[in-house]
Amino acid sequence: MVQLRVMTDDKQRGEDVLAVLLPLLKACTALEAGEPTRLSHRNGGLRVVLDVQLAKAPTVTVERDDVPRSSGTRTGGGGAPARRQRRRPALPPGG
């Protein structure tokens, strides 16, 4: 488990840092941050702890559009152009 701790004797300064830090952590797609836990601090300072872990990579699915459909016919547009087939020259008549 990875934890981030914000600890200071100056409570207002710590709150100011949290006001910047927490939105940054929430906006970061590479990290998942837990809810901050406020701990008691003697002399009125600030102690905040939160768990942080790497976010799971999103799954991406890609469908190909240039593969011929199973019907064997190609519809116009959207794919790679069909290949032209070369014709063999006719053989001369046998004789």
Tokens 């406020």, residue located: 38
pLDDT number for residue 64: 77
34 part of a folded domain: yes
pTM tops 0.75, yes or no: no
78 part of a folded domain: no
pLDDT number for residue 1: 79
26 part of a folded domain: yes
Q: What is the pLDDT of residues 17-67, one digit of tens each?
A: 999 999 999 999 889 999 999 998 888 899 999 999 998 866 667 777 777
Split into its structural domains, the chain has a count of 1
84 part of a folded domain: no
Residue positions counted in the chain: 95
Q: What is the pLDDT of residues 3-15, one digit of tens each?
A: 999 999 999 999 9
Structural domain span for residue 41: 2-54
Distance CA 5, CA 50 (A): 7
Query: How close are the terminal C-alpha atoms of the chain, in Å?
Result: 89
pLDDT number for residue 56: 83
Distance CA 52, CA 57 (A): 15
Q: What is the pLDDT of residues 61-91, one digit of tens each?
A: 777 777 776 665 555 555 556 666 667 677 7
The letter for the amino acid at 66 is D
